[in-house]
Every structure is written in structure tokens, then in C-alpha cells.
Amino acid sequence: MLEDKDRTELSDLGEFGLIDRIAQSVEITQKSTVKGIGDDAAVLGTGKVKTLISTDLLLEGIHFDLSYVPLKHLGYKAVAVNLSDIYAMNGKPTQITVSLGLSSRFPLEAIDELYTGILLACDKYNVDLVGGDTTSSISGLTISVTAIGEASEENIVYRNGTKETDLICVSGDLGAAYLGLQLLEREKAIFKDNPAIQPDLTGHDYVLERQLKPEPRADIIDILELEKVVPTAMIDVSDGLSSDLMHICTQSGVGCRVYIDKLPIDHTSAIAAEELNIDTTVAALNGGEDYELLFTVDLKDYERIKDNPAIRVIGHITDKGDGYNLVAGEQIIPLTAQGWKHLEA
Amino acid sequence: MLEDKDRTELSDLGEFGLIDRIAQSVEITQKSTVKGIGDDAAVLGTGKVKTLISTDLLLEGIHFDLSYVPLKHLGYKAVAVNLSDIYAMNGKPTQITVSLGLSSRFPLEAIDELYTGILLACDKYNVDLVGGDTTSSISGLTISVTAIGEASEENIVYRNGTKETDLICVSGDLGAAYLGLQLLEREKAIFKDNPAIQPDLTGHDYVLERQLKPEPRADIIDILELEKVVPTAMIDVSDGLSSDLMHICTQSGVGCRVYIDKLPIDHTSAIAAEELNIDTTVAALNGGEDYELLFTVDLKDYERIKDNPAIRVIGHITDKGDGYNLVAGEQIIPLTAQGWKHLEA
């Protein structure tokens, strides 16, 4: 490998830096490539109806811990998070491929559990499993899912279309998946110290389900269609609200203002947060894995969404010069994004 | 995990057994799914021009050994083998996505090398890199590539369309990639025993290149188009001629007869085989990773292909009852396929 002096650590660049670097060296030559790297999904095709493609790689020890994640849930989640990327383009998923790297410690019965979860998600969201690759692995379990979807050209929502005065909206609630993860990690640590103690997760069904079995927001895409609202920008909340909102803002060349008291937080999340001594706002802003849809709409569409209980307006888009800000009462605090936590470990 | 008595080892089922099992539990509900699991690529879309999707997962220690595979070559090969699957449907690749799992032992300079190879293959085969996922890894390097392509409905060639009397054809030559791998493994073993000895790979450029930098047969698809020949069945030679021909035969419900003296073997492969004390026929039949195209054509098309130096007729399709046979002079030997070697390790 390379001498130390020629060596640049990936952690110095970070995930988004690396993606930017790759994107810059890519040249687009096919006329069927409408949008390449840089959004929730690639947009392909020469007709009016476009094909959407998104892919995720999930590695044991980085994205999941099999000591507390059941394989069935893992299969379901692996599909769900990919479908979420297709919905985030205002599209509908149609097919997936699933590739697995399996170590010999997994018997067939374990693979069946994993596929039961995969097919359950396929069934629920009406997508077909059409291919993949299976191989052995000398390390842990590897799951690679590619989701394929479609959308009419005029309905596709990118990250870069928002403008000053647009409203910032988010579906559902935030922070619960992160709190669920912290609970599972806490119980794992207790169990490690004393295997005789049974895990105590009573009353935390909601936050645990948000972590273990997230549901992509297909219903929001249906609501938007029904209400004839095409968002000006959209992304799914996977890295955390702050980070994902900043993707929209940087790509659109705008600033933003988010009101802390508007952040949607479930009451059971608040209970879990208190038990864990975690600030609910921090969980909502930086927790990640919510798989909610974060989108912006033109002011004229306010009437169409304001009464929908599944959607909350949390702020508005400002001029780029104003920066990215969080409003807490009289205070204005700059929003900060968290990158790729994995690589910094 | 499960009790031993309830445990079925994956190696008992094998790769193809596992794929069959998955395919059987999958239900197709989308009208845009033309072909799901079971061919070189999935076929999607409701229009005349179909979308083809194929995906491969490559894991360090299983599919490649970084002690002798340069990262640039690895990137090139990862793309090449995926494009090969699209050509094997008689289609043209248009885009790829590449996901990487990277351990912190890789500096940015190493990732640049890998992408240089990836983009070189994209450039050569005129495909766009349109997305992917990058993540850290606590184990080795993981590469997942999805290739997207297109083909007119009437030109798509599946594995299941061949019939009695069709001719069995193969492009290029066979066995070289396997021999290249054996040479690299030999030199690695020597180096391990005595690091002072420089690897001796003189005169083996061709077989090494076949292993390290395979080229998918885009040219064969062009030749077939030019000659107006649509094969009755096609597959790319990744597992080895025997195994891949048997996929065609079982899916088409036919038998086959392959003539040992017709197998195309490069003279440099013969030299390497002798040096390594490996039978060239065994390398050609079971070596794998040739990424040549194996296809069958109707007898009426014989005139159109017989003089092409890139294509060799190696046998013909028979009735299912005749089985899968190899003809060596007066002798008839049953062909046997090799499965998923990895999982049996």
C-alpha cells in the first residue's frame, strides 16, 4: 500500500466529501441519464415516465448488530430504507434486487428468516423481488439492495428545487429510531455484564419499532398526489433532519430557519429520551434513521397541507446569506450537520 | 441462533439450490416485471424497449485477493463482469451504480485507484456511473455493482429458448482466466515462503490479463446484430462452460453434446496449463471467469456465423433424454457442473 506521507485518511474527507469527489470525476454520456449521483435516486430514461434507481449497502457491525436485531426485521428494514429513497423522489417503487454475502455460521433457516422479512416488505409496498446475487462471506453478513421505481417526469422532486419563502415540511415524527437504538444498546451492555438479567424494554414498543422496522412513507406520496401538491424539493430523513435539510439547502443554494417548538416528537420518544437522559431536540435533529420525508412546498400550497395530521410545517426557506438556523424562542442557533459517523470511528 | 438439529447447512443446498428456493417463494405482482430471478438479468418495463438489471456482490477474500490484484484492475473487473450479464441478454448496458464498503486501512489514494478502474471500464463500454452508496466496513473491501441496460423486446435472449438441433456456440477462448488465477496463487505461495523471490510471470501476459482485466463481449452483440442473428439462448461464462451450458439446457428442457476437440483454447493457455500441470480441457470446462458468451443458434443461421473468427461452434442441442455429454473421439463422457465453490469451503 502507500507510504504514510502520501496517505489521505478517508475520515478527513468524510462521506459527503468522498461522494463529491467521485461525482466530479464522472462524465455523463448516455442521453438516457437524466440525473446521476447526488440525489436520493438516479433518474433514467428517454420517455415521459422515468426509471428511478437507488441502492444501499448494509454491513454487519456497521449498520446492524445481530445480537439484538432479528433477521426478519433486518430483511424488512433493508428493503424499507431503499424504497424510502424512491418515495423521496416522489416516485413509486416497482422492483428490488437483493444481494447477500453469507458466512457459513448462517444455516438455511436463518436465511429463510431474512427472506421472510424481505418478502413481507415487498408484499406490503407492492414491489417485486427480481434478482440479486448470493455469495459466501468470510466476514459478516452483507446486504446490498437496489430499488427500482418510476415517476412521471413532471412529478419528480429533486433536492435542488427549493427557493426563498418555501415552507419546510416533515412527515410523522423525529428522533424515535435513534432513541430505540440507544435503548437496545443499553440493554446489550447490561446483558454483557450480567447475562442473567432479562432486557427491560417495557413501554418502549414505539421507539423500538421505529428502529427495528421502519416504514417508508408511501402514504405521503399518495397524499401529495391527491392534494395535487408537487414539493419543490424532497429528501428522506436517514442521516438526521439537520444533515438532510442541509443537503436540500446547499443543493438549492438557499438558507433555512427551523423552529425548535415545531419539531414533531412523539410522547413515547420524550419518555424514552428522559429515561436515557438524551435531549429530544438533539435526537430529532441528529438522530437519523427516521425515514420520514422532509420536503419544501411553495407558499401557495400551504392550505392544501396545513390540516393534514401526517405533515408538520417546521420552518421556511431563507436567502442563502442567512445560513442554516434553528429558532428556539428568542434565540437563533446555527444548525450543524453530522456526516458519516461510521468512518470517523 | 438455532439448535443444531434444526440447522440446515447452506453448503448442503448449494448456490443454485438457494436461488431456486428464493425464486419459488417470490410472487410477481407488477405488470412491468417481464422476467425476474433466473436469467443473467431481470427484464423490466411495459414498452417495446425493456430495461435490463443485473447485480453482483464482490467480497474481499472470496472474489479477490488484494495481495496480487491491483485496485485499478479490480475496479475495472467489477464493472466488466456486470456489463457481461447485460450483453448475455443481447442487450446494451447504459448505466451502473457502485456501492463500496471501505475499511479504514484504505487511504483516499487507494479509493482513487479503484475509481480510476471503474471509470475506465465505464468509458470503454460507454456507460454512466449514476449512483451508489459508500460506507465504512470493519471487515474487508466490499463492492456491489448494479448494471442497467436496454434491449428491444424482440431481441432479448433468455436461457430457456434453445431446442433440439440448435448449434452451441462460444466466443473467444476458454480456461485462460482460471489458469491466470492459478499462476497468481502459485507466485503468492512462493512469495509467502520466501519474500526475497521476485514473482516469475514472464510469458503469461494473456492468461493474467484474462484473470485481472476481463473484457465483456460487447463486440459479439454487435456482430449478431450485424449478421441479423438472434440466438435462441444465451448466458455468459462465469462459473465455467459446463455449469453455464447446463443452465441453458435445464431451463430449456434439452440435452447437449459438446465436442472436446472443438473447445477454443489459446496456445498461451496451453503453455500455462502445462507449466501448472493442469488439463486444458478441465480449465476450459470448469475454470470459469472467462466472461465469454455461450449461445445457441438455429441451424439456419449457421452460414451467418461459421466464418467469424470470434465465434466457435462447439456442439449441438439434443433431446433431453440424451443428457449432457462431452464427446472425446469415440468416447462419450457425461458433463458435470460445478456449483458454488465458495460455500463449500
Residues A313-327 pLDDT 10s: 999 999 999 999 999
> What are the tens digits of pLDDT across the range B185-235?
999 999 888 888 877 788 899 999 999 999 999 999 999 999 999 999 999
**Residue B81 to residue B315: CA distance in whole angstroms:** 25
CA atoms within 13 A on the CB side of B187: 18
Mean pLDDT of chain A: 93
- Scanning A211-270 for CB atoms below 8 A from B yields none
Listed range (A44-48, A263-267, A340-344, B212-216) with the worst mean pLDDT: A340-344
Cell of A130: 427480481
Give the pLDDT of residue B1.
47
Give the pLDDT of residue A342.
39
Average of per-residue pLDDT across A284-309? 96
Q: What percent of chain A has pLDDT over 70?
A: 96
**Residue B206 to residue A149: CA distance in whole angstroms:** 42
Give the pLDDT of residue B197.
82
> What are the tens digits of pLDDT across the range A290-301?
999 999 999 999
Q: In chain B, which residues have their Cβ closer than 8 Å to the Cβ of A8? A: 107-109
In the predicted model, residues of chain B with pLDDT beneath 50 are 1-2, 339-345
Q: How far is A64 from chain B (nearest CA, A)?
A: 12
**Residue B190 to residue B186: CA distance in whole angstroms:** 6
Give the pLDDT of residue A340.
42
Amino acid occupying residue A38:
G
Q: Nearest 5°: phi and psi at B185?
A: -65, -40
Give the pLDDT of residue B253.
98
> What are the tens digits of pLDDT across the range A214-244?
999 999 999 999 999 999 999 999 999 999 9
A343: pLDDT confidence band, cut at 50, 70 and 90? very low
Q: Please name the member of A29, A61, A101 whose beta carbon is closest to the beta carbon of B57.
A: A101
Give the pLDDT of residue B4.
60
Give the pLDDT of residue B343.
38
Match 429510531 to its residue by C-alpha cell.
Answer: A177
Q: Is the pLDDT of residue A168 over 50?
A: yes
A1: pLDDT confidence band, cut at 50, 70 and 90? very low
Q: Is the pLDDT of residue A131 over 70?
A: yes
Q: Is A109 exposed, middle or buried (0-12, 13-18, 19+ CB in 10 A)?
A: middle
Q: How far is B256 from chain A (nearest CA, A)?
A: 27
Q: In chain B, which residues have their Cβ closer than 8 Å to the Cβ of A33? A: 94-95, 128, 130
A275: pLDDT confidence band, cut at 50, 70 and 90? very high
Report CB contact under 8 Å: A59, B140: no
Domain boundaries B167-344, CATH class = alpha beta
Listed range (A150-159, A175-184, A250-259, B330-339) with the worst mean pLDDT: B330-339
DSSP run (H or E) holding B64: none
Average of per-residue pLDDT across A191-220? 91
A253: left (phi over 0), alpha (psi -120 to 50) or beta: left
Average of per-residue pLDDT across A191-200? 84
Q: Please name the member of B25, B94, B119 whose beta carbon is closest to the beta carbon of A32.
A: B94
Give the pLDDT of residue A162.
98
3-class secondary structure per residue, chain A: CCCHHHCCCHHHHHHHHHHHHHHHHCCCCCCCEEECCCCCCEEECCCCEEEEEEEEEEEECCCECCCCCCHHHHHHHHHHHHHHHHHCCCCEEEEEEEEEEECCCCCHHHHHHHHHHHHHHHHHCCCEEEEEEEEECCCCCEEEEEEEEEEEHHHCCCCCCCCCCCEEEEECCCCHHHHHHHHHHHHHHHHHHCCCCCCCCCCCHHHHHHHHCCCCCHHHHHHHHHCCCCCCEEEECCCCHHHHHHHHHHHHCCEEEEEHHHCCCCHHHHHHHHHHCCCHHHHHHHCCCCCCEEEEECHHHHHHHCCCCCEEEEEEEECHHHCEEEEECCEEEECCCCCCHHHHC
Report CB contact under 8 Å: B136, A10: yes
Report CB contact under 8 Å: B146, A107: no
Report CB contact under 8 Å: B53, A130: yes
Q: Which long-range contacts (CB under 8 A, 24 or more apart) does A24-28 make?
A: A25/B115, A25/B119, A26/B119, A26/B122, A26/B128, A26/B129, A27/B123, A27/B128, A28/B128, A28/B130
- Scanning B85-114 for CB atoms below 8 A from A yields 94-95, 97, 99-102, 104-111
- Scanning B116-175 for CB atoms below 8 A from A yields 119, 122-123, 126-140, 142, 144, 146, 148, 150
How far from each other are the two terminal CA atoms of chain A, in whole angstroms?
21
Give the pLDDT of residue B5.
63
Amino acid occupying residue B223:
I
Q: Which long-range contacts (CB under 8 A, 24 or more apart) does B336-341 make?
A: B336/B242, B337/B239, B337/B240, B337/B242, B337/B243, B337/B246, B338/B239, B338/B240, B338/B242, B338/B243, B338/B286, B338/B288, B339/B14, B339/B15, B339/B16, B339/B239, B339/B243, B340/A135, B340/A136, B340/B14, B340/B15, B340/B16
Q: Is A15 on the interface with B (CB under 8 A)?
A: yes
Q: In chain A, which residues have their Cβ closer than 8 Å to the Cβ of B139? A: 59, 61, 138-140
- Give residue limits of the domains in chain A: 31-155, 167-344
Does domain B31-155 correspond to CATH entry 1.10.10.10? no
**Residue A14 to residue B51: CA distance in whole angstroms:** 34
Q: Is B201 exposed, middle or buried (0-12, 13-18, 19+ CB in 10 A)?
A: middle
Give the pLDDT of residue A338.
59
Q: Which of A25, A108, A342 to mutate to test the interface with B (most CBs of B within 10 A)?
A: A108
